[in-house]
Amino acid sequence: MREATRTILEHTGFEVLPAADTRDALKVYEECNHGIDLVLTDMVLPGGTGQQLGQELRQRSPEIVVLVTSGYSEQDEMEAPEARTYFLAKPYSKRTLVEKIEKILAAVPLGRAATQAT
């Protein structure tokens, strides 16, 4: 799933920095000197949850945007734009994914990478 999502996003023009788990995502973020606009993550990750990852990243950079995906529809309530946390229910189409990311990033300065932990 991670590779398919990476391909979709790269073909759309996004720079993608994949991460296998929570620890890897934090490492990638640090290596990029906090230069990532959006983190796309699944709710369930090896080593934690997407929500925990977002909280850890926000401790480093409060401006980071986190897009959490999940197959559990009750997670829909976790979307909190004021906290820069967004939700995308699975399954989603290529178009829905790209439109969601573009809509979120419309309010964020561009020119940095997106990272993905799924």
Nearest alpha-carbon partner for 22 in 9, 3, 2, 41: 41
Reply yes or no on whether the pLDDT at 34 is more than 80. no
For residues 47 and 20, the answer to whether their CB atoms sit within 8 Å is no
Distance CA 45, CA 100 (A): 21
The whole-number average pLDDT for the span 48-69 is 89
Helix, strand, coil proportions of the chain in percent (round to 5)?
Answer: 45, 25, 30
Domains and CATH numbers, the chain: 2-117 (3.40.50.2300)
Reply yes or no on whether the pLDDT at 33 is more than 90. no
Distance CA 87, CA 23 (A): 21
Reply yes or no on whether the pLDDT at 75 is more than 90. no
The whole-number average pLDDT for the span 64-82 is 76
Q: How confident is the model at residue 112 (pLDDT cuts 50, 70, 90)?
A: very low
**92 vs 108: which has the higher pLDDT:** 92
Distances (CA, A) of 104 to 23, 27, 46, 81, 88: 25, 24, 26, 9, 11
